[in-house]
């Protein structure tokens, strides 16, 4: 599959965009006209630069308002077109995108539009150029790809075909199945964009909120399947107008964009098999479980003290590194003091148990993922890993035999013997995300780790609204809420703290025992319990227990959720949760209370009473 990207997707100057697209592995680019107009390089220089970088220049875009006009206006269209066709010759581009008329159309007649496209096509042919006619979703008269194709067919000229853009088709809810009725060779160009489900005017939606494939709610797999079945073999190009991507680092956006196409290619290859003409990614499904969390700091003793209070066992020190392992049930916490001078405790890495680590490594490589590196000594388990967009390292290792401990755990020595603990495993891990990386993070987890987005919500904090998007494996064994920081906090490394939520079977016993051992939970205000009593008809004794232990509570039709939080140390806090019945959420209604309590206690906290 030949890949391309419109320069409007990327930040920077035109030359910077070309460099970034080439180094991310794109085969070509679409030149967005304003990028060329603002460039100091001549068209010949741009052409030569692209050639040196190994990029083809696939499309010049857009020409606007070319059809459906009176004869006077059409003469001006031809004059403009001639200037642009000359420019395209200098660039060496042979396809131009012509959008359906938005501003100047006065004639709503397929025959008129077809005849004007035919004349434009005839002019273009003289320059060796072909016209790709596209129905904009907000075209004055032509706003449906089926009508654009009807007009192009009527034009009946070898230099006139259509451009298909997934946004213009799917945003209007038009069925893409009819694409298969267009002969592949008359589809002159293909543009792809995903988008979130928003109900707003389609022009603003298109201009500001498009996303790369895999990040929104459009079914692009089905869309591209229809296009492949139609026999289209040209470039598959991204045209994503997005306020964030326009301002973020051009190189990482280009890599992220390229990843979205590889992900989509995989999905279509799996849908169509050999018919697709391109190969699926290696893959072994979503990870089976959390393997470990790694907390890094110059001094991890505050975390050790916390883990003690909830019954974790110190399992030993790593043979060759200043790293310790603590376990409780299936929960493994690695405390890392290596290369951590001056660092406060923070969540540095997540480990996943996977069935086929080598396949996942190959998959990550094909998706252009930056790899994480760990030095490994003789006899030690090598861990492969990747760096997530927020900087968290993600490692993967084989599952332990029969669900037991993974092989790498044996590298930790001189530990205590395993104690009983009410903690049974890791329920979820929340990662605070800078606002500008959330879309890339969604795609990263979906494409590299096959962890899709399960839900999305919004909670109020004293510092602004926090959008929370939950990444979850199909069986719920892996749950990662991604919490997006309000922009005002951007620039701070971990604007929102990360947190690890441990699962337990009996939260009341755990909370009581931990208190007895000195743990100070995050204090929950009395007002919260008064409201709880008003919302739910709770037993007085139960309510008193919640209050005594600073437990918070949620309930839905499927079950109940009881949890409590520790104070924040460094960039991190812990949560302990008990799910009753089939409750599947995260107590989002309690998050504002937690966020306020954390704000109130924002001075450095003693997580455990000394």
Stretch touching a second copy by CB under 8 A, among 99-107, 124-132, 366-374, 528-536: 528-536
Select 36 or 343, whichever has its Cβ closest to a second copy.
Answer: 36
**CB of 41 closer than 8 Å to CB of 14:** yes
Measuring CA to CA, which residue among 395, 406, 382, 302 is closest to residue 346? 302
Is 527 an interacting residue with respect to a second copy (CB under 8 A)? yes
Is 37 an interacting residue with respect to a second copy (CB under 8 A)? yes
Residues for the chain: how many in total?
A: 610
Is 40 an interacting residue with respect to a second copy (CB under 8 A)? yes
Binding-site sequence positions for Mg(2+): 428, 499, 575
Is 79 an interacting residue with respect to a second copy (CB under 8 A)? yes
Q: How far is CA 295 from CA 314, 317, 322, 573, in A?
A: 14, 14, 12, 11
Binding a second copy by CB under 8 A: which of 70, 243, 556, 606?
Answer: 243
Residue with tokens 């192009």: 152
Stretch touching a second copy by CB under 8 A, among 160-168, 316-324, 344-352, 531-539: 531-539
Binding-site sequence positions for a divalent metal cation: 134, 165, 191, 239
**C-alpha–C-alpha distance, residues 494 and 484, integer Å:** 11
The residue count for binding a second copy (CB under 8 A) is 60
Stretch touching a second copy by CB under 8 A, among 104-112, 173-181, 199-207, 504-512: 199-207
Is 197 an interacting residue with respect to a second copy (CB under 8 A)? no
**C-alpha–C-alpha distance, residues 106 and 108, integer Å:** 7
**C-alpha–C-alpha distance, residues 228 and 232, integer Å:** 5
Site string for a second copy, 450-489 (x = CB under 8 A): ----------x-xxxx--------------------xxxx
Measuring CA to CA, which residue among 588, 586, 585, 521 is closest to residue 551? 521
Shortest approach of a second copy to residue 565 CB, angstroms?
13
Of 506-525, which residues contact a second copy (CB under 8 A)?
523, 525
Select 273 or 491, whichever has its Cβ closest to a second copy.
Answer: 491
For residue 205, what are the contacts with CB-CB under 8 A and spacing of at least 6?
171, 195, 198
Stretch touching a second copy by CB under 8 A, among 76-84, 112-120, 177-185, 446-454: 76-84
Select 289 or 496, whichever has its Cβ closest to a second copy.
Answer: 496
**C-alpha–C-alpha distance, residues 210 and 9, integer Å:** 10
Select 381 or 463, whichever has its Cβ closest to a second copy.
Answer: 463
Q: Which residues face 579 on adjacent strands?
A: 561
- How is residue 465 written in tokens? 């609204």
Torsion over CA of 22, 240, 437 and 391, rounded to 10 degrees?
-20
Select 217 or 599, whichever has its Cβ closest to a second copy.
Answer: 599
Select 376 or 456, whichever has its Cβ closest to a second copy.
Answer: 456
Cβ atoms within 10 A of the Cβ of 196, count?
14
Select 537 or 603, whichever has its Cβ closest to a second copy.
Answer: 537
Q: Which residues face 99 on adjacent strands?
A: 134
For residue 535, what are the contacts with CB-CB under 8 A and spacing of at least 6?
none
Binding a second copy by CB under 8 A: which of 198, 359, 508, 543?
Answer: 198
Q: How far is CA 323 from CA 169, 202, 294, 407, in A?
A: 54, 53, 10, 16
Shortest approach of a second copy to residue 490 CB, angstroms?
7
Is 80 an interacting residue with respect to a second copy (CB under 8 A)? yes
């Amino acid at each position: 599959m030949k890949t391309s990207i419109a320069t409007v997707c990327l930040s920077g100057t035109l030359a910077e965009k070309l460099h970034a697209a080439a180094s991310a592995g794109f085969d070509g680019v679409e030149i967005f006209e304003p990028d060329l107009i603002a460039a100091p390089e001549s068209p010949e220089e741009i052409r030569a630069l692209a050639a040196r970088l190994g990029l083809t220049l696939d499309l010049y875009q857009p020409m606007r308002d070319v059809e459906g006009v009176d004869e006077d206006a059409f003469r001006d269209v031809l004059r403009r077109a001639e200037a642009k066709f000359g420019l395209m010759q200098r660039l060496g581009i042979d396809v131009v995108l012509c959008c359906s008329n938005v501003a100047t159309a006065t004639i709503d007649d397929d025959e008129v539009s077809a005849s004007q496209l035919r004349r434009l096509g005839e002019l273009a042919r003289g320059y060796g150029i072909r016209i790709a006619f596209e129905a904009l979703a907000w075209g004055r008269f032509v706003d449906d790809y089926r009508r654009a194709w009807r007009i192009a067919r009527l034009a009946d000229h070898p230099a006139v075909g259509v451009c298909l853009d997934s946004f213009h088709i799917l945003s209007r809810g038009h069925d893409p199945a009819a694409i298969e009725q267009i002969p592949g060779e008359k589809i002159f160009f293909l543009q792809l964009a995903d988008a979130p489900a928003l109900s707003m005017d389609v022009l603003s939606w298109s201009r500001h909120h498009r996303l790369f494939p895999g990040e929104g709610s459009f079914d692009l797999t089905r869309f591209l399947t229809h296009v492949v079945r139609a026999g289209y073999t040209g470039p598959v190009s991204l045209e994503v107008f997005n306020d964030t991507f326009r301002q973020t680092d051009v190189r990482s956006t280009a890599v992220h964009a390229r990843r979205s196409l590889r992900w989509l290619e995989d999905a279509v290859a799996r849908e169509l098999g050999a018919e697709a003409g391109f190969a699926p990614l290696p893959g072994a499904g979503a990870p089976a479980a959390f393997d470990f969390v790694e907390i890094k700091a110059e001094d991890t003793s505050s975390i050790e003290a916390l883990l003690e209070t909830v019954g974790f066992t110190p399992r030993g020190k790593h043979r060759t590194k200043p790293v310790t392992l603590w376990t409780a049930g299936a929960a493994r916490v690695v405390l890392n003091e290596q290369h951590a001078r001056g660092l406060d405790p923070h969540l540095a890495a997540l480990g996943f148990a996977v069935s086929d680590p080598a396949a996942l490594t190959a998959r990550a490589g094909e998706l252009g993922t930056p790899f994480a590196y760990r030095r490994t000594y003789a006899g030690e388990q090598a861990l492969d890993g990747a760096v997530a967009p927020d900087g968290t390292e993600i490692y993967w290792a084989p599952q332990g035999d029969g669900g037991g401990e993974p092989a790498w755990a044996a590298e930790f020595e001189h530990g205590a013997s395993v104690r009983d603990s009410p903690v049974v495993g890791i329920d979820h891990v929340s990662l605070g995300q800078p606002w500008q990386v959330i879309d890339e993070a969604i795609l990263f987890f979906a494409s590299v780790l096959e962890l899709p987005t399960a839900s999305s919500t919004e909670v109020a904090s004293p510092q602004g609204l926090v959008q929370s998007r939950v990444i979850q494996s199909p069986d719920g064994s892996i749950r990662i809420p991604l919490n997006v920081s309000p922009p005002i906090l951007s620039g701070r490394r971990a604007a929102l703290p990360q947190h690890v939520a441990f699962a337990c079977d009996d939260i009341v016993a755990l909370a009581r025992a931990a208190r007895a051992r000195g743990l100070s939970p995050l204090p929950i205000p009395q007002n919260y319990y008064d409201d709880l009593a008003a919302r739910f008809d709770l037993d007085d004794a139960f309510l008193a227990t919640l209050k005594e232990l600073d437990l918070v509570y949620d309930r839905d039709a499927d079950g109940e959720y009881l949890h409590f939080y520790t104070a924040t140390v460094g960039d991190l806090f812990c949560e302990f949760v008990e799910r009753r019945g089939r409750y599947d959420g995260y107590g989002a209604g309690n998050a504002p209370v937690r966020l306020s309590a954390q704000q109130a206690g924002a001075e450095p906290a003693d997580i455990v009473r000394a």
